[in-house]
C-alpha cells in the first residue's frame, strides 16, 4: 500500500497562524511520519495557493505584481515549515509550469469529454483599475435594508446574500470608481452529471469518515449545481477553452489539482517523469487530506468529480482528516486586532516540539478548542518537562548509577514490572489505531498514560532503597523502563520528532533505523549515552508575551515618508495630571499644545505618579481620532518608550521649545 499525504494549500495572501498550522500542515506531517515509521512508501505534498482575486487585488493596492507578493509569502511559509520540522517531499506553488500545464491538460480533457459548457454572465468592471470586480470588491447600498456599505456578496447589516448587480449605486472598493456592466462568456463545469457517481462512491467508500460521508451525501441530496470554472483574472492558469483568451481557471479548481501536479513535479525533478502514475493510478494507493472542515466539499465533491471527468483511473481511496476551529484565548485569530500567534513568530519563540506537542494536545478533532498561553505552559512544564522529561532523565540516571550505563535483557521480576511491560504493548496497539484513524489528540493522552505509569513504578519500587538487598529486582525494573522509554519515544516520534530522536540516541539507538515494529521487539541490551542532558526546559508565559511584543516591534511593516508625515506630532507641556477614577492604569492628562489644551488618557499609572508628570514637556500625537476609554474621550496620545520587559519611559524634549512645535 502506498500513501500520498497532503495538506490544504496555504493561500499565499498572508502568514499561517497556529490554527492553520495545526489543521493542515502539522497534521499532515504527523501522519506522514507515522506512516513512515510503519514502513509505508509515502510522498507528502502541498504548496502555496497563489492565484485568485484577493491576491491580485492586494497586489494592485500595493502597486506591485502579484508574483512579488506571493514570492514573499511563499518564502516565509517555507521558513515556517522548516522551523516547525514539517517535512514535505515537495512543497511547491501553483504558479509553476508543471502545475499550469497539468491544470490546462485536465480541463482540456474534461471539455473534450463534454462536461464543460459556456454561458454569458453580466459582470461589473472597473474602468479605472481595468479589472472585473469579484463580488466582495463591490460596495454599494443594500436593496433590502438600505445599508450604505453593503458588499456585493452579502449585506453585513441585514445578512442577506446579494448579487453585486443588485447594489444601488455600486462602487469599486479598490478605487471608488463606478463600475460598468459587461457581458462576458464564462465556462461552467457540469457537476450535476456526477451526482449519481459521486453518491455511489461516497456511500461505498471504506476510507472516508462517517462525518465527511454524511455531510457530503447531504449536499448531493440537496442537488448539485453547475459551477463556474473561469474568472476574468489575469493572475491565474489561462483557461484552455475556445474564445477564452481573457479567462483563467477559478482558483479553487486550480488549487485542488495541485495534489496531483505536485507529485508529478516531484518525480520530474528526479528525472522519473512517469513515476507519478504509479501513485495516482494505482488502486492500492491511499490519499490523505488534512484540511479545515469548511473545505470538505472541495475534497469529496469537486476534486473527485474533476478526476472522474477525465475518464482516467485516478485512485479514489480518500481519507479526510478535517478539523474544527482553533481559537486563541477565547477569540478568533485576527491579524489586525493582534489576536493570535503566527508561524513566523512561533518559531522565534520556542523549539518546534513545544508547539507541536501543545497544538496536537489541542487539535480540534471533535469540537472547537482554545489555544491559551496557560495551556502552552502546562503542556511544556507539566507534561513534557515534569512527566516525560523527568521520566527519561530518571531512567538514564538510574542505569548509569547502578549498572554503569548498560542494562541487559531480563524478564520482569515483580508483578508490577510485568504489568508495565504488557501495558506498553496495549498502549502501542491503541496508539496505532488512533494514528490510523487520524485521532492524534487521543494519541497524546494514550501515550502519556504509559509515561505516568512508568513514573509511578519507579516511586513504588524505589531502586535507591532496594538495590542493595535485591539487585536482580532492580535490573528487571531498569530493563523494562528502558524498553518503555524506547516505546514512548517511537510512539511520540510523529508528534515531537526532535525530542524523540534524542531519547532514542540517549538509549543507544539510531533513530533513522528505528520503526514502529521495534516497539514489539525487546532489545538484547541498552548501552546508554555517556552525556545526557534534560530534554525539555520550563517556560514562562509572561516571558513569552514580552518576547512576542519585541518580535512584533522588530518586524513592523515598512512605510513611506508620506505615511509618516500624516502623523501630526507636537510638543506640549503637561499642565495637570490625575488618576482616572476606578481605573488601575489610566492617568488623565491636560496638555498645553500652544493654541489649545487637549485631554489625554494614558495607561501609565503603573509607571508614573501623576504629580511627577506635571511640567514635563512631552510629544503628543495631535491628530489621533478621539477614542473612548471607560466612558471618557481621549483626544490624543503621548509617546513613551517600552522595552517589553516592564520599563516604560516618557519621551521628553532636549531643551526648551515652544508648545505646539511640530516634531518631525
Ligand atoms: Zn441589507
Ligand atoms: Zn476601481
CATH 1.10.730.10 for domain 362-527, yes or no, is yes
The alpha carbon of 122 and the centre of ligand 1 are apart by a number of angstroms equal to 22
Distance from the CA of 29 to the center of ligand 1, in angstroms? 44
Compare 152 and 497 and report the one with higher pLDDT: 497
How many percent of the chain have pLDDT more than 90? Answer: 80
Report how far residue 92's alpha carbon sits from residue 247's, in angstroms, rounded to the nearest whole number: 24
Is 202 a residue whose pLDDT tops 80?
yes
pLDDT at 105: 98
What distance in angstroms lies between residue 164's CA and the mean position of ligand 1's atoms? 12
Sign of the Cα torsion 4, 5, 11, 15 reads negative
DSSP state of 127: T
CA of 146, nearest ligand number: 1
Distance in Å, CA 36 to ligand 2 centroid: 51
**308-317, 432-441, 564-573: the lowest-pLDDT one:** 564-573
**Local confidence band at 1 (pLDDT 50, 70, 90 cut-offs):** very high
DSSP state of 161: B
Angle at 263 between CA 261 and CA 266, to 5 degrees: 110
* 628, pLDDT greater than 90: no
- What pLDDT score was predicted for residue 129? 84
Closest by CA to 74, choosing from 10, 27, 5, is 10
* Nearest listed ligand to the Cα of residue 154: 1
Find the 309 Cα to ligand 1 centroid distance in Å.
39
Nearest ligand to the CA of 147 is 1
Going from the Cα of 529 to the center of ligand 1, the distance in angstroms, rounded, reads 69
> Residue 117, Cβ neighbours under 10 Å: how many?
12
pLDDT at 555 over 60: no
**What spacing in Å lies between the alpha carbon of 58 and ligand 2's midpoint?**
12
Q: What pLDDT does 233 receive? A: 84
Instruction: Kindly state the average pLDDT of the residues 298-315.
Output: 96
**How far apart, in whole angstroms, are the C-alpha atoms of residue 242 and residue 250?**
16
Ligand approaching nearest to the C-alpha of 179? 2
DSSP-assigned beta bridge partners for residue 318: 287
Task: Pick the ligand that lies closest to the CA of residue 142.
Answer: 1
Q: How far is the CA of 61 from the centre of ligand 2 (A)?
A: 10
| pLDDT attached to residue 645 | 61
Which ligand is in closest contact with the Cα of 125?
2
**CATH class of this structure's domain 559-663:** mainly beta
Give start and end residues of each alpha helix (H) in 437-496.
Answer: 440-461, 463-466, 471-492
The whole-chain average pLDDT of the chain stands at 94
Least Cα distance to 589 among 579, 605, 576 occurs for: 576
CB 440 within 8 A of CB 26: no
Q: Do 233 and 248 meet the contact criterion of CB atoms below 8 Å apart?
A: yes
Give the number of the ligand closest to the Cα of residue 130. Answer: 2
Q: How far is the CA of 151 from the centre of ligand 1 (A)?
A: 9
Q: Would you say 607 and 641 are in contact if contact means Cβ atoms under 8 Å apart?
A: no
Cell numbers at 579, concatenated: 488618576
Per-residue pLDDT band at 583 (split at 50, 70, 90): confident
Say whether pLDDT at 308 is over 90. Answer: yes
The Å distance, Cα 172 to ligand 2 centre, comes to 5
Write down the pTM of the prediction: 0.81
Question: How much distance in Å is there from the Cα of 156 to the middle of ligand 1?
Answer: 7
Angle at the Cα of 178 from the Cα atoms of 172 and 184, rounded to 5 degrees: 80
Closest by Cα among 487, 463, 464 to 476:
463
Question: Distance, CA 53 to ligand 2 centroid (Å)?
Answer: 13
Q: Could you tell me the distance, in angstroms and rounded to a whole number, from the CA of residue 296 to the centre of ligand 1?
A: 29
pLDDT at 445 over 80: yes
For residue 213, is pLDDT > 80?
yes
**Cα of 192 to ligand 2 centre, how many Å?**
36
Q: What is the pLDDT of residue 632?
A: 86
Decide if 649 contacts 659 (C-beta within 8 A).
no
**Closest ligand to residue 145's CA:** 1
- Examine the pLDDT at 554 and tell me if it is beyond 80: no
Distance of CA 154 from the midpoint of ligand 1 (Å): 8
Question: What is the tens place of the pLDDT at every residue in 483-539?
Answer: 999 999 999 999 999 999 999 999 999 999 999 999 999 999 999 999 999 999 999
pLDDT for residue 61: 79
Ligand 2 centroid to Cα of residue 85, in Å, is 42
Confidence of residue 557 (pLDDT cuts 50, 70, 90): low
Tell me how far apart the alpha carbons of residues 486 and 480 are, in angstroms, rounded to a whole number: 10
Ligand 2 centre distance from Cα of residue 171 (Å): 8
Ligand 1 centroid to residue 143 C-alpha, Å? 7
Sketch the domain layout of the chain as residue ranges: 2-115+190-323, 116-189, 362-527, 559-663
Contacts 24+ apart (CB under 8 A), 212-221: 212/296, 212/299, 212/300, 212/320, 212/322, 213/300, 215/296, 215/297, 215/300, 216/296, 216/297, 216/300, 216/301, 219/297, 219/301, 220/195, 220/301
Which ligand sits nearest to residue 138's alpha carbon? 2
Q: Pseudo-torsion of CA 389, 392, 397, 402, nearest 10°? A: 160
Q: Answer whether residue 556 shows pLDDT above 70.
A: no
Is the fold of 2-115+190-323 the same as that of 362-527? no
In tens, the pLDDT along 392-414 reads 999 999 999 999 999 999 999 99
- The CA 123 to ligand 1 mean position distance, Å, reads 21
Give me the DSSP letters along 376-391.
HHHIIIIIIIIIIIHH
Ligand in closest contact with the CA of 143: 1
CA of 126 to the centre of ligand 2 (A): 5
**How far, in Å, from the CA of 158 to the mean position of ligand 2?**
26
| Å from CA of 148 to ligand 1 middle | 9
Lowest-confidence region among 265-269, 299-303, 616-620, 643-647: 643-647
Residues 511 and 497: their CA atoms lie apart, in Å, by 10
Q: Which residue has the higher pLDDT, 632 or 382?
A: 382
Question: Is pLDDT above 70 for 331?
Answer: yes
Distance 366 CA to ligand 1 centre (A): 34
Closest ligand (CA of 157): 1
| For the CA of 140, the nearest ligand | 1
Distance from Cα 167 to the centre of ligand 1, integer Å = 10
Q: Which ligand gives the minimal distance to the CA of 155?
A: 1
Domain 116-189 CATH (choose: 3.90.1640.30, 2.170.220.10, 1.10.10.10, 3.20.20.70): 2.170.220.10
Q: Which ligand lies nearest the alpha carbon of 176?
A: 2
* pLDDT, position 603: 87
Band (pLDDT 50/70/90 cuts) for residue 630 is: confident
CATH value of 2-115+190-323 in 3.40.250.10, 1.10.1740.110, 2.60.40.420, 3.40.50.620: 3.40.50.620
From the list 433, 415, 441, 425, the residue with the least C-alpha distance to 486 is 425
231-235-241 Cα angle (round to 5) = 45
Amino acid at each position: 500500500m502506498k500513501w500520498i499525504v497532503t495538506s490544504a494549500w496555504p493561500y499565499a495572501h498572508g502568514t499561517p497562524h497556529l490554527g492553520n498550522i495545526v489543521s493542515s500542515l502539522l497534521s499532515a506531517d504527523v501522519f506522514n511520519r507515522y506512516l513512515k515509521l510503519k514502513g509505508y512508501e509515502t510522498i507528502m505534498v502541498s504548496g502555496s495557493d497563489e492565484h485568485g482575486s484577493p491576491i491580485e487585488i492586494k497586489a494592485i493596492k500595493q502597486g506591485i505584481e502579484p508574483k512579488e507578493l506571493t514570492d514573499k509569502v511563499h518564502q516565509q511559509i517555507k521558513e515556517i515549515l522548516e522551523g516547525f520540522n514539517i517535512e514535505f517531499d515537495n512543497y511547491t506553488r501553483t504558479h509553476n509550469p508543471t502545475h499550469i500545464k497539468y491544470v490546462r491538460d485536465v480541463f482540456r480533457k474534461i471539455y473534450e469529454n463534454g462536461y464543460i459548457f459556456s454561458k454569458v454572465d453580466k459582470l461589473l468592471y472597473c474602468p479605472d483599475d481595468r479589472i472585473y470586480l469579484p463580488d466582495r470588491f463591490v460596495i454599494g447600498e443594500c436593496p433590502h435594508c438600505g445599508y450604505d456599505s453593503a458588499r456585493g456578496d452579502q449585506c453585513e447589516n441585514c445578512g442577506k446574500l446579494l448579487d453585486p448587480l443588485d447594489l444601488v449605486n455600486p462602487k469599486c472598493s479598490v478605487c471608488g470608481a463606478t463600475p460598468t456592466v459587461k457581458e462576458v462568456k464564462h465556462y461552467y463545469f457540469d457537476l450535476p452529471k456526477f451526482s449519481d457517481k459521486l453518491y455511489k462512491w461516497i456511500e461505498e467508500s471504506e476510507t472516508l469518515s462517517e462525518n465527511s460521508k454524511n455531510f457530503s451525501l447531504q449536499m448531493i441530496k440537496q442537488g448539485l449545481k453547475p459551477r463556474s470554472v473561469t474568472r476574468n483574472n489575469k493572475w491565474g492558469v489561462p483557461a484552455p477553452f475556445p474564445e477564452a483568451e481573457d479567462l483563467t481557471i477559478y482558483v479553487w479548481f486550480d488549487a485542488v489539482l495541485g495534489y496531483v501536479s505536485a507529485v508529478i513535479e516531484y518525480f520530474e525533478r528526479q528525472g522519473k517523469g512517469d513515476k507519478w502514475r504509479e501513485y495516482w493510478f494505482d488502486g492500492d494507493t491511499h490519499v490523505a487530506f488534512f484540511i479545515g472542515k469548511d473545505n470538505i466539499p472541495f475534497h469529496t465533491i469537486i476534486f473527485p468529480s474533476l478526476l472522474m471527468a477525465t475518464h482516467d483511473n485516478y485512485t479514489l481511496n480518500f481519507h479526510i482528516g478535517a478539523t474544527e476551529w482553533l481559537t486563541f484565548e477565547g477569540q478568533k485569530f485576527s491579524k489586525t486586532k493582534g489576536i493570535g500567534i503566527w508561524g513566523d513568530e512561533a518559531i522565534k519563540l520556542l523549539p518546534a516540539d513545544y508547539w507541536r506537542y501543545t497544538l496536537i494536545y489541542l487539535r480540534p478533532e471533535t469540537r472547537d478548542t482554545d489555544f491559551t498561553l496557560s495551556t502552552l505552559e502546562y503542556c511544556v512544564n507539566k507534561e513534557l518537562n515534569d512527566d516525560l522529561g523527568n521520566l527519561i532523565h530518571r531512567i538514564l540516571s538510574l542505569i548509569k548509577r547502578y549498572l554503569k550505563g548498560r542494562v541487559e535483557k531480563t524478564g520482569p521480576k515483580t508483578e508490577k514490572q510485568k504489568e508495565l511491560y504488557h501495558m506498553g504493548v496495549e498502549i502501542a496497539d491503541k496508539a496505532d489505531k488512533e494514528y490510523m484513524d487520524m485521532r492524534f489528540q487521543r494519541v497524546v493522552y494514550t501515550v502519556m498514560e504509559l509515561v505516568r505509569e512508568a513514573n509511578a513504578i519507579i516511586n513504588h519500587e524505589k531502586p535507591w532503597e532496594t538495590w542493595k538487598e535485591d539487585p536482580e529486582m532492580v535490573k528487571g525494573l531498569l530493563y523494562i523502563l528502558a524498553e518503555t522509554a524506547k516505546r514512548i519515544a517511537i510512539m511520540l516520534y510523529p508528534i515531537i520528532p526532535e525530542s524523540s530522536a534524542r531519547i532514542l540516541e540517549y538509549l543507544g539507538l539510531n533513530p533513522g533505523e528505528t520503526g514502529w515494529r521495534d516497539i514489539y521487539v525487546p532489545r538484547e541490551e541498552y548501552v546508554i549515552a555517556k552525556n545526557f542532558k534534560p530534554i525539555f526546559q520550563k517556560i514562562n508565559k509572561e516571558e513569552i508575551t514580552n518576547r512576542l511584543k519585541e518580535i512584533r516591534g522588530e518586524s513592523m511593516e515598512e512605510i513611506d515618508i508620506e505615511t509618516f508625515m500624516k502623523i501630526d506630532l507636537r510638543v506640549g507641556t503637561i499642565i495637570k495630571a490625575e488618576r482616572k477614577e476606578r481605573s488601575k492604569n489610566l492617568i488623565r492628562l491636560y496638555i498645553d499644545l500652544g493654541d489649545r489644551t487637549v485631554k489625554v488618557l494614558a495607561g501609565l499609572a503603573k509607571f508614573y505618579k501623576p504629580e511627577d508628570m506635571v511640567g514635563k514637556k512631552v510629544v503628543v500625537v495631535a491628530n489621533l481620532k478621539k477614542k473612548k476609554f471607560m466612558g471618557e474621550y481621549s483626544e490624543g496620545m503621548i509617546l513613551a518608550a517600552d522595552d517589553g520587559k516592564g520599563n516604560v519611559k516618557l519621551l521628553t524634549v532636549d531643551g526648551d521649545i515652544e508648545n505646539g512645535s511640530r516634531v518631525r
